[in-house]
Amino acid sequence: MTKAELRKVYLEKRKQLPENTINELSKKIAHLFFLQFNPTENQNIHCFIPIKKFKEVNTLPLIESCFSKKINVFVPKIIDTEMIAIELKENTQLSENKWGILEPSENRPANITHFDYIVTPLLYCDDKGNRVGYGKGFYDELFRTMPSTTKKIGVNFFSPLENIDDLRNEDISLDYLITPSEILSF
């Protein structure tokens, strides 16, 4: 299937999930993340804040656990056509942008060049770690700027089933995919 077809299919599949199921599956994904990677104090994690209307994996339990473990959390913010990273603290004020995404109110990017982990939103991931996002290329660009030691981790409610027919040379694959029932390494 093409990326456009996969986007449509998996957006529709997520729409069918009730909110309580999303929260339950998201907690399982967060649990598997900590079980597999065991991040430690002062490590840096870049993690998206979920778009509720798209029924993305709820990363808020994962983020809250990072706070309790004193792991530095950074979140994306889109300014014009660029995605920047902003450090998120427990008391950071969030506001909804024009796309319905919660993000920090401030626009000052964090002065950071390395993340230990990047938890990445996606609509679909195949069995080789190739991801289908929303089509803007923000995460491919972020991945390009990171050292090879950064773990690129996708989170999804669904396991890989389909091949992606229209991969591009610019697409950067994930290192891991976490679903509620498994962790795949690529």
Residues of each annotated binding site for substrate: 49, 56
Residue list, annotated binding site for ATP: 3-7, 131-139
The rounded distance, in Å, linking the Cα atoms of 175 and 52 is 25
Distance CA 109, CA 61 (A): 24
Distance CA(99)–CA(157), nearest Å, equals 22
Binding residues: 3-7, 49, 56, 131-139
For tokens 């319905």, the residue is: 100
How many residues would you count in the chain?
186
Which tokens go with 36? 């597999």
Q: Which one, of 123, 119, 118, lies nearest residue 145 by Cα?
A: 118
